[in-house]
Structures are given as C-alpha cells and as structure tokens.
Amino acid sequence: MEQPPPCRFLRTKKMYVSVQEEAAFSDKFDPNSFSHCWCNRTMTEVGEDDNLVSFRGCSSQLRPCYKEQ
C-alpha cells in the first residue's frame, strides 16, 4: 500500500540543502531514516494536534491537522 504524501506543513533540513532538496520527499526518501522534522505552523517538533512531527506521522490523513499538498 502506497503511503500518502506528507502534510504540506512538514519541514525537514533536507529541504534547505540544495543537493538534497529533491530527495527530501521523493519516492527515494526513506521514512525510517532519521531526519530532523518540524511543523511549519507550530515551528516546533510538535504538531497542532500535540503529537510529535515525523515523516511517517505527518503522512497520516487521520491526523486532524493534516493538510494535503
């Protein structure tokens, strides 16, 4: 089963490094690899729903704060 795209407010350091920008959320991205993430709405590692921000967690349409790309 294909995982939905991450929330539009999910951010990771890879997005701001030009050589890693394309790989940040591409099909080649490994959701199990460690990557510091934060919510662009709360500007912290905790989302609006008081749950931790992560690639896998923020790709769940069950989260009330999830917004599609």
Residue at 69 is within a domain: no
Residues 51, 38: Cα–Cα separation, whole Å = 11
- Quote the pTM value: 0.76
Residue range of the domain that includes 51: 1-59
pLDDT digits (tens, 9 = 90+) for 31-54: 555 578 899 999 999 999 999 998
- Contact call for residues 50 and 42 (beta carbons, < 8 A): no
Residue at 28 is within a domain: yes
Confidence of residue 9 (pLDDT cuts 50, 70, 90): very high
Residue at 51 is within a domain: yes
Number of helical H runs and strand E runs in the chain: 0, 2
Residue 53 has what pLDDT? 93
Residue 18 has what pLDDT? 76
Number of domains in the chain: 1
Instruction: Give the number of other CB atoms < 10 A from CB of residue 39.
Output: 21
User: Who has greater pLDDT, 15 or 60?
Assistant: 60
